[in-house]
């Protein structure tokens, strides 16, 4: 991202105003393998009575880019960030995959009009409601 787009674009997430706010109010507690950086409020407490926690995304701001270990810390499920403890992922956890909504790879359940599969024929067990 060039300096021009950092000054004038808010959709990238990391503008100069964001950098000033982080410098004044935040302390970095760690980063993840995707390059996202995680911060906690230096002084005081937020509206929930605890210091605020937030993430600055490396690229586009997409919530699904937050790994599970950092998600728990951001949402106050755990008190210590993953950098202060040894985190082992569960066997069912998968690596990040971008949100595919609106693309050709989006999830389409069977029976969806956008699905490639054919809908099953009606079996005759459906009886429509008819008002009396």
What domain count does the chain have? Answer: 1
User: Does 75 map to a domain?
Assistant: yes
User: Does 130 map to a domain?
Assistant: no
Q: E-assigned strands of the chain? A: 26-31, 37-41, 53-56
pLDDT of 11 above 60: no
Domain hosting residue 54, numbered range: 1-119
User: Does 132 map to a domain?
Assistant: no
Cβ-based neighbours of 67, under 8 Å, separated by 6 or more: 32, 33, 34, 96
pTM here is 0.66
Is the model more confident about 125 or about 77? 77
> Could you tell me if 99 and 62 are in contact, meaning their C-beta atoms sit under 8 angstroms apart?
yes
Residues 30, 37: Cα–Cα separation, whole Å: 6
User: Does 128 map to a domain?
Assistant: no
pLDDT of 66 above 80: yes
User: Does 34 map to a domain?
Assistant: yes
């Amino acid at each position: 991202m060039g300096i021009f787009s950092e000054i004038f674009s808010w959709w990238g997430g990391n503008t100069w105003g964001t950098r000033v706010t982080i410098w004044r109010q935040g302390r970095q507690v760690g980063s993840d393998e995707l390059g996202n950086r995680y911060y906690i409020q230096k002084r005081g407490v937020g509206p929930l009575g605890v210091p605020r926690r937030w993430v600055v995304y490396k690229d586009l701001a997409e919530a699904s880019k937050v790994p599970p270990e950092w998600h728990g810390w951001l949402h106050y499920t755990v008190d210590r960030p993953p950098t202060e403890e040894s985190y082992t992922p569960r066997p069912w956890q998968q690596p990040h995959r971008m949100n595919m909504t609106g693309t050709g790879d989006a999830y389409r359940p069977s029976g969806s009009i956008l699905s490639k599969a054919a809908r099953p024929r009606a079996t005759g067990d459906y009886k429509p409601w008819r008002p009396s």
